[in-house]
Structure 1
Amino acid sequence: MANLLVLSGGHPYEAEPFEDLIRSVAHSLGEWDVTHLVHPEAEERVAAGAADHADALLFYDMGGYEFADGKVTSRPPSKGFKEAIERRFAAGKGAVAMHHAIAGWADWPAWAEVLGGRFLYQPGEWRGEPMPDSGYRHDVAYEAEVVADHPVTAGLPATFPMVDELYLAPIDEGAVHPLIRARHSFTRDNFYSAAQAVAGKMFSNTDWDHPDGSNLVAWWKEVGTSRLVYLQFGDGPETYANPFVRRALSNALAFTSGAQ
């Protein structure tokens, strides 16, 4: 029986609806065995080898942050965790990353290179260039548009409805293979500042500026000889229950595990 390792923690989410998503996807793949690890245990167990033999790996975590008193501090992962992730990709074993995983490990630049994009909670850098903090917008109703005939998009209609959180953040379209785009305008006026949210000013973009961004919400890329799929879907129960999200996630896990 194939096995799936799921990593979560570092960002709030509704546990039972998420577990239902994972159970449904595991069933669709043929009753895969699932191990779900939550930070900080997830970091410790991966460093100890938990990811080495998993057939499929799902990052739904946002490691390396502490939010307190209107401020955010960050740290890199442990040496053992970094080595375990690098070892997995070097061995030709892939992974899927969802939603807020693109914000994880702000002090480990290689993580953003693996994913092909980076969500910043504070002004920082992307590829050596200064960047403002990223933008977010909850509960956006939009049409997702499939832009590639690919194993990850197999069985999906050309367009499908979504209600989910979207991000305005740097994505290197030249380094990824586009799969799904959002029919939405990724401009400053349609998003809120992540840094202001951390400071207690939710849903504000006052005095915040950000360049227009990519409308990609799903892509895949090569990491060495391995496959990485990123799905921006995943803010909450409505998204978890969306049958098209479930299909895309199931396809992505099969594709990155070599089962497809």
Structure 2
Amino acid sequence: MPTIDYRSPLRCLVAVRGHPFGRDAFASVFEDMHGISATMVDQPAAALLLNSEGMRDFDVAVLYDMPGLDFDAPEDAPTYVDPPDVMRRGFPAMLEQGKGVVALHHALAGWPTWPEYGEIIGGRFLYKPGVVRGSERLDSGYAHDVAQTFTPIPGHPVTDGLPASFDLTDEPYLAEIFEDGVTPLLRSDAKFDRDHFFSASLAVRGEMYARDGWDHPAGSNLVGWAKEVGKGRLVYLQPGDGPGAYENPHYRRLVENAIRWTAQQG
């Protein structure tokens, strides 16, 4: 297994906005990463930079955003917003040409009208029932503040230096996970079934913590994975809802390892 080279400085463009978060607390995740700088760019401006030209001075894009959804729509919120053409064309091309991407937590819900985005990321969180890979799917599920034990899968640079397991209270998702196209990195012991989650669609309609009439099938406990897209590398990590994750040294190690691996330092 190649070792990670920590000598070269890395520059990350961190795309944010679309989902509430503590900006200063989240920024602290990157502050102790030796030789890594992070520049936050809010959506929708970030979408104009996630292409080969916009990323010319960056090594890795970190996605902590949830673009393509308008929760302020007067009816049937969230309404869906198409990605700009520069994003639709440029994001896949950027990866094909070798740039790295680390997607975190709610980035799984981004760009719901763009199927290729879900294929690139490796899964889909749905705020409304929709079609995924040609099949009708119910809206996804959320559950706040769930105490979980995470098991890193050894033998990959992204899980290097992590213990056999670690505990973290965070928000898991009952979502569409495309296990067939990824390398597993992290599993959770949370119970990924309908009785332990709540409907995202009901929540945005004002019925928080509700599941009446929502009969979602059981889902995957895979919460972290890696994949290669052309010459580029991508890592998705589902944990990362708030300060409990931001301050956890094992979570920070995961994110740092993911940045370095997608930058092809290991």
- TM-score of the pair, normalised by structure 2: 0.92
8 Å contact 2:189–2:221 — kept in the other structure?
yes
Aligned to 1:40: 44
Aligned to 2:181: 175
Aligned to 1:58: 62
2:264 is aligned with 1:258: yes
8 Å contact 1:51–1:85 — kept in the other structure?
no
Deviation at 1:47, TM superposition (A): 5.9
Deviation at 1:53, TM superposition (A): 3.6
2:202 is aligned with 1:196: yes
SS where residue 190 of structure 2 aligns?
A: coil
8 Å contact 2:232–2:262 — kept in the other structure?
yes
Structure 1: which 5+ runs fail to align? none
Deviation at 1:146, TM superposition (A): 1.5
2:16 is aligned with 1:12: no
Distance, in Å, in 2 between the alignment partners of 1:34 and 1:249 is 12
SS where residue 205 of structure 1 aligns?
A: coil
Deviation at 1:48, TM superposition (A): 8.9
SS where residue 241 of structure 2 aligns?
A: coil
2:167 is aligned with 1:153: no
Distance, in Å, in 1 between the alignment partners of 2:96 and 2:227 is 14
Deviation at 1:226, TM superposition (A): 1.6
- What is the identity percentage for the equivalent residue pairs of Structure 1 and Structure 2? 44
2:70 alignment partner AA: E
8 Å contact 2:14–2:41 — kept in the other structure?
yes
Deviation at 1:225, TM superposition (A): 2.4
8 Å contact 2:194–2:218 — kept in the other structure?
yes
Distance, in Å, in 1 between the alignment partners of 2:136 and 2:30 is 37
Distance, in Å, in 1 between the alignment partners of 2:10 and 2:81 is 33
Aligned to 1:100: 106
SS where residue 252 of structure 2 aligns?
A: helix
C-alpha RMSD over aligned residues: 1.4
Which of 206, 215, 219 is the aligned partner of 1:213?
219
Deviation at 1:34, TM superposition (A): 2.3
Distance, in Å, in 1 between the alignment partners of 2:50 and 2:101 is 14
What is the number of residues matched between the two proteins? 256
Distance, in Å, in 2 between the alignment partners of 1:79 and 1:14 is 30
Distance, in Å, in 1 between the alignment partners of 2:49 and 2:234 is 21
Change (3 A) 1:146 1:48: closer
Distance, in Å, in 2 between the alignment partners of 1:44 and 1:115 is 18
Aligned to 1:88: 94
Which of 79, 84, 105 is the aligned partner of 2:85?
79
SS where residue 143 of structure 2 aligns?
A: strand
Aligned to 2:6: none
Which of 126, 129, 137 is the aligned partner of 1:120?
126
8 Å contact 1:51–1:84 — kept in the other structure?
no
8 Å contact 1:48–1:80 — kept in the other structure?
no
